Structure 1
Amino acid sequence: MSINNNFTKTVMSVGEMASGAKLTVPVYSFKAEQSEGPSVYIQANMHGAEVQGNAVIFQLLELLKRCDINSNITLVPYANPVACNHKNGEYTLGRFDPITGVNWNRMYHFDQGVIEPFAQENIDESDEAIEAKFKQLMLDEIEQKLDHNIYGLTTGQRIAYQLQRLAHQADLVLDLHTGPISSKHLYCPEYAQASASYFDIPHTILIPNIFDGAMDEATFCPWWQLQQAYQNLGRPFTMGQGLFNKESFTVELGSQEQIDLDVAHQDALGILSYLKYKGVVADTEFTPQQMTRYACYLKDYKALYSPMGGMIDFLAPFGEPLTAGQPLARILRMDNYGDGDPLHYISLDDDVIPILHFASASVNQGTELYKVFTNYFKL
C-alpha cells in the first residue's frame, strides 16, 4: 500500500562537525485533512544507546499510513545524531555530551519567569487567544535561544532547542527512551494519571510540576504552571481539557542497545491506543490491553546503590512486587573465598517493585544497582 498523500519527509540540520559535515535528523509528518484532534509530536533516540524507539517509530509509520487521522502527527527518529554515533568498542556511550558532561535529556529550555506576566496581561482574553498566544510565546523563546544568543550554544543545546521547537507546536508529546536493563515504564504528569491506563505499559511514575531540563517537563510544565497562574488570578482551567489539553510523557520501552521489531509493533499499538483515546486517530481497533498497572510518585521511585564492589547476580524479576526481606541480588566476592564470605545477599526492608538494573555484572561500591517502586499502588 502506498503511503498516505498527506505524508511528508524532511531533513532537519541540527549542527555541524569540525569537517563541515552537517548533523541531520529525519522528520516525518502526517497532515490531517481537517485537524480536529490534538496534534502530536513523537521523538526517539535522544540518548545514543536507547534505540528501541526508532523501531517503534518505524512501526508507527507503517500503521499510521493506514489510519483515519484526525490531527497532525510529527515523528522524529535518530533525534540526536551525535549520541547515536558515540561508540566505544561495541558499546554506545551517548547518554552524556562528551564535551560538557551534561545529560543530553537535560538541555531543554523553560523560563518560569514568563508565566505570571503572561497570565496577568492576558487575563481577559478568550480561551482560543490564550492558547495561541502562549504557544507562540513558547516558540518565540526557543527562536530567541537559537537565533539571538550572542555567546552561542553548545552542541547539545542546539539539538535540544530545534527538537523543542517542533514539540512546542504539538499538544501531545511522547519522548521514547529505554533504561539500561529495564522493564517498560512511563513517566506521566500527575494531572494526566487517567491517560496512563491507555498505554500498554504496566508501570507508571507520576511526576510533579517541576522543570529539571527534560523534554516532557519542558512541554507540560509551562501549561501546568500557566493553569496555576490563572487559578491564582481567579480564572480556573482544568489540565487535560479544552485550552489546556496538553500532555507529555517519557515512554521507557525496555532495555538499551537492542531493538525488537515485533515488540516494537506491540509498543506502537499501545501508543495508538492512547492516541485513539485522545481523539487523534479514529480507528476502533486500537484498545488498551487488560493488565495490572502499578504506579508510584516520583519521590517514591528509589535508587539502590551497591554497598560493596564485586560481581553482581541480579535475582529479582522486573515488574513483580517483592516483599520486604526478599533478596534483589547477590554479590560475588572471590577475593573473600577461603578466608571470608564470598556471597553477599542484598535485600530491602520495604515492599518494592524492581523496574530496572545496572547493565553490567561488574560493579563498584556506590554503583546504582536497581531502581524500584516504593509505596506503590494500582492504577
Structure 2
Amino acid sequence: MKMEKLITNELGSGDNFSLKIIKLQGICEDNSKKVYIQANVHGAEVQGNAVIYHLIEALRNNLSLIQGEIVLVPQANPLGSNQKVGTWTYGRFNPITGDNWNRMYKDVLKNEEALNTLAKEHKDDATTSKKLKKLLKEKIQAMKQSLSSYGPNENSIHFLNLQELASDADIVLDLHTGPIATNYLYVPAFLEEESKHLGFNHMLIIPNEFGTAMDEATFMPWVHLQKALKEHEIDYKIPFSSYTVELEGEELIDLERAKIEASKICQYLVYKKVLTKNPFSTPTVGDQYYCHLKDYKTYYAPRGGLVNYTKKVGELVKKDTTLFEILNFNDLDNLVTPYKAYKDCLVINHNTSSNIRDGMELYQVMENYWKID
C-alpha cells in the first residue's frame, strides 16, 4: 500500500490543498481489474470517507486478496470540504461561481473521430478496451493543457484530474450521501441487472446519457465506443461499471454503518472477481427496489413555514396518506396544514431543515417502483 499526493489548490496564504491517492495493489495479471473509489466531492457528504477507512484497514494487510489494484481517494474535493457556514459545511456548490461540484465533469470522447478509428481497427474486445483507456487518458491530458493555457480554471482542472485518475479503471464508485436519506444507487441502464450485487436497497435507473456527474463522465466513453462499434455491425458488451453510491445522510460519519457499507462493496468486488473473498462478514441484503429516473419525483414546499416530515426515509407511502405537515402562524384557525402523497411512493430523502420557504425541496420519492426477488 502506498499514498501519493496531488496538489489541487494554492490558497491566498500560499498554503496548498492536496488529494490523498491511496493505492492497494494485489496480484496483477493481464486480465486483472482496476477499481477506483472516491468520496466526499460534495463537502458535507462525509460518510464515504468512513467507508474508505474500513477498506484500507481490511485490505492493507490482505493485499493477496486483491486481483489487480484498488485506488482510493477520500476527501476528493478539499476546497469543498473546507467551506463552512457556522457549523455546517457549505460543500455542494462552489461558493464563488455557484456551480455544483458534481456537475463539472466532461464528456471527453463525445463526437470523437478516433472512436471510429478504433471501431475500424477492432480485432477483439480486450484489445479495443485497452485502446479506449489509452485514448481517454490522452484526451483528458490534452483537455487539461488546453483549459490551462490562460491559467487553471478551478471548475475544470480539478475534476479533470479526478477523471484522469479513473480513466484506466474497470470499476468506478463515486461515494456520496443525500441530505437526510436512505441508501441508494444511481445505476446506468446497461448495469441494471448487475447492480443488485452491490447489496443496496434502492436503485435509480438512469439513461445511458451524459449529465455532467462523475458516474456518467466515466461510463459515457464506453457508451460512445459501443455505439461506434455498432455502426460497424460489431456487438460489444460494455466491460465497465460505474455507480454513484449514496450512503444515507450528510454531515456525520457512522463508523459502524460504514463497516456494513464497506462489506457490501467488497462483496460486489468478489462478484466482479477483484477480490478472492470478502474480508468482512457477509452483509445482509434486504428488499431491493428499482425505479426509473423519470419516476423519481420531488415534492416542493407549497408554502413557507415549519415542516413536520411525517414519513421516514425508506418508508413505503400510500396515495392520499399524509406525507408532511406545514406549521404557519398566519392563520390562527388553521395553524397546521397536512399535505398528502399524490401517488404510492417510496421515500428516498428529505430536507435537513424544517424551516422552509415556498418552492424549496422537501421530499424525493420513487414512484412506479418495483421490487426484485
TM-score by length of 1: 0.93
Instruction: State the Cα deviation string for residues 47-96 of structure 1 (Å, max 9, x = none).
Output: 01000111110011111224411011100001000011000110100110
* Mapped partners of 1:56, 1:331: distance in 2: 36
Aligned runs of 1:1-379 on 2, under 5 Å? 7-35=1-29, 36-67=31-62, 68-115=65-112, 117-126=114-123, 127-149=125-147, 150-239=149-238, 245-283=239-277, 287-337=282-332, 340-379=333-372
CA distance in 2, matches of 1:232, 1:378: 36
Is the CA contact 1:177–1:250 (under 8 Å) kept in the aligned structure 2? yes
What is the CA distance between 1:11 and its match in structure 2? 1.0
Q: CA deviation at 1:34?
A: 2.2
Per the alignment, in what secondary structure is the counterpart of residue 165 of structure 1? helix
How far did residue 33 of structure 1 move?
2.5
Whole-Å separation in 1 of the counterparts to 2:320 and 2:193: 33
Counterpart code for 1:204: M
Please name the residue that 1:4 is paired with. Answer: none
For residues 130-161 of structure 1, give each alpha carbon's deviation from its aligned partner in whole angstroms, at most 9, with x where no partner exists.
21221112111211122233234321322111
> One-letter code of the match for 2:318?
T
CA deviations 1:160-203 (Å, max 9, x no partner) are 11111111121100000001111111111111112221223110
| CA shift digits 1:114-143 (9 cap, x unpaired) | 445513453232223321221112111211
- Structure 1 range deviating more: 19-28 or 50-59: 19-28
8 Å Cα contact 1:209/1:225 also seen in 2:
no
Cα distance in 2 for residues equivalent to 1:113 and 1:327 = 45
Q: 1:288 to 1:188 in 2, by over 3 A?
A: farther
After TM superposition, give the deviation of residue 265 of structure 1 in Å: 0.6
SS in 1 for 2:234: coil
Deviations 1:239-297 (A, max 9, x none): 2xxxxx10100000011000011111111001101111101000156645231100101
CA 1:229/1:183 → structure 2, altered by over 3 Å: closer, same or farther? same
Partner secondary structure for residue 369 of structure 1: strand
- In the superposition, relative to structure 1, how do residues 121 and 58 fare at CA in structure 2: closer, same or farther (>3 Å)? closer
- The one-letter code sitting in structure 1 at the alignment partner of 2:69 is N
- Whether the 8 Å contact between 2:346 and 2:366 is mirrored in structure 1 is yes
Equivalent pairs: percent with the same residue? 38
Q: Which amino acid aligns with 2:257?
A: V
2:223 partner amino acid:
W
1:14 and 1:23 in contact (8 A); partners too: yes
Distance 1:158 1:20 in 2: 19
The answer to whether the 8 A contact 2:174-2:244 is kept is yes
Partner SS for 1:78: coil
Question: Take 2:208 and 2:151, find their aligned partners in 1: how far apart are those partners?
Answer: 29
Q: RMSD of the TM alignment (CA)?
A: 1.6
Distance 2:258 2:42 in 1: 18
Q: 1:43 to 1:329 in 2, by over 3 A?
A: same
1:66 and 1:346 map into 2 onto residues whose CA distance is 53
Contact 2:28/2:69, CA 8 A, preserved across alignment? no
CA contact 2:180–2:313 (8 Å) conserved in 1: no
Name whichever of 315-324 and 350-359 sits farther off: 315-324
CA offsets per residue over residues 315-339 of structure 1, 9 Å max, x none? 11221221100111111112222xx
Contiguous gaps of at least 5 residues in structure 2: none
What's the offset of the Cα at 1:18? Answer: 2.0
What secondary structure does 2:5 align onto? strand
State the Cα distance separating 1:8 from its structure 2 match: 0.7
Partner of 2:169, secondary structure, is coil
The verdict on how the C-alpha distance between 1:214 and 1:30 changes in structure 2, with shifts beyond 3 A counting, is same
Q: Give the conservation status (yes or no) of the 8 Å contact 1:199–1:288.
A: no
SS of the residue corresponding to residue 58 of structure 1 reads helix
Tell me how far apart the structure 2 counterparts of residues 285 and 112 of structure 1 sit (CA, whole Å).
Answer: 37
Q: Distance in 2 between matches of 1:317 and 1:371?
A: 11
For structure 1, which segment, 93-102 or 188-197, has the greater mean C-alpha deviation from structure 2 after superposition? 188-197
The 3-state SS of whatever aligns with 1:222 is: helix
> Whole-Å Cα distance in 1 between the matches of residues 83 and 337 of structure 2?
36
Normalising by structure 2, we get a TM-score of 0.94
In 2, are the aligned partners of 1:198 and 1:288 still within 8 Å (CA)?
A: no
